[in-house]
Amino acid sequence: MMFIQYIFTMDDGKVLDYKVEFERNRERILDNSLYPAWTQLDFHQCPNCPLKTDEYSHCPVAIDAHEIVLGFTEILSCNEVDIRVITPEREYFKRTDAQTGLRALIGFVMASSACPISSQMRGMAYYHLPFATLDETVFRVTSSYLLHQYYVCKKGGKFDLEFEGLKQRFKEMQTLNFHFLERIRAACEADSNLNVLATLFTISSMLSLSLDRHLKEIEHLFD
């Protein structure tokens, strides 16, 4: 069973340990009393969300992320922490600010969730890379998209060599991240969770508007 585990160790000895399975099957209709109100689907629902409230009671991403969000309500994003990431193949370690680790963890949760929009990054989540730089993200997301286009072409579809679909995907993610941030605002008291979603929003915005420029910057690797 594929999973990742993020262990955050604070300087005061506090430890936050999250083990997240890649496959997370949930019922479409859940008991409202078991989850915070901000996880309900109609609470700041993304305008581009294709899910219907009569078929789904809760936002898939919010359900998957709510325990992580609540764990970080008292942790400031600027705090230096030790972060250990365990995957089935290897382990990673980095001492960095809490926001960096939280961004990587939330990114995995979003991409591996049942959300029809964020799950388009599911392939990248399966080969999760913690603490990825922007250049690494560009390399991985474009490579993943081209592989997806290969499968589309094999099934008789048109190969999108201009990345138009990928740019549209980032626009969709930009909308999702912005409105998901509104959910988080209702749940947090400290700034970590707000900052991490704001950062995700910024990355989606940059890649949707300037993907061609970022690709030009790594072109020298293929000369």
Collapsing DSSP states into helix, strand and coil, what is residue 86?
Answer: strand
C-alpha distances out from residue 172 to 78, 136, 178, Å: 29, 21, 10
**pLDDT recorded at residue 195:** 62
d(CA 80, CA 11): 8
Which DSSP helix (H) or strand (E) runs through 81? strand 80-86
Average pLDDT of 191-219? 72
**Mind listing the pLDDT tens digit for each residue in 69-100?**
877 776 666 788 999 999 999 999 999 988 88
Least confident residue range of 98-107, 123-132, 149-158: 98-107
**pLDDT recorded at residue 179:** 86
d(CA 119, CA 10): 31
d(CA 176, CA 179): 5
Percentage above 70 pLDDT, the chain:
87
- Per this entry, what is the length of the chain? 223
Residue tagged 């910024």 (tokens):
202
Give Cα 187 distance to the centre of its chain.
Answer: 18
**pLDDT recorded at residue 180:** 85
Helix ranges, 112-191 (H): 122-126, 134-154, 164-185
Residues contacting 86, CB < 8 A, separation 6+: 4, 5, 7
Position 197 confidence tier, pLDDT thresholds 50, 70, 90: low
State the chain's mean pLDDT as an integer: 87
- Residue 134, pLDDT > 90, answer no
d(CA 136, CA 138): 5
- Count CB atoms within 10 A of the CB of residue 42: 11
- Count CB atoms within 10 A of the CB of residue 202: 12
Which DSSP helix (H) or strand (E) runs through 96? strand 91-97
**Mind listing the pLDDT tens digit for each residue in 148-160?**
999 999 999 999 9
d(CA 192, CA 67): 14
Closest CA to 192 of 96, 105, 76: 76
- Residue 1, pLDDT > 80, answer no
Percentage above 90 pLDDT, the chain:
56
- Residue 147, pLDDT > 70, answer yes
Residues contacting 203, CB < 8 A, separation 6+: 134, 137
> Has this prediction a pTM greater than 0.75?
yes
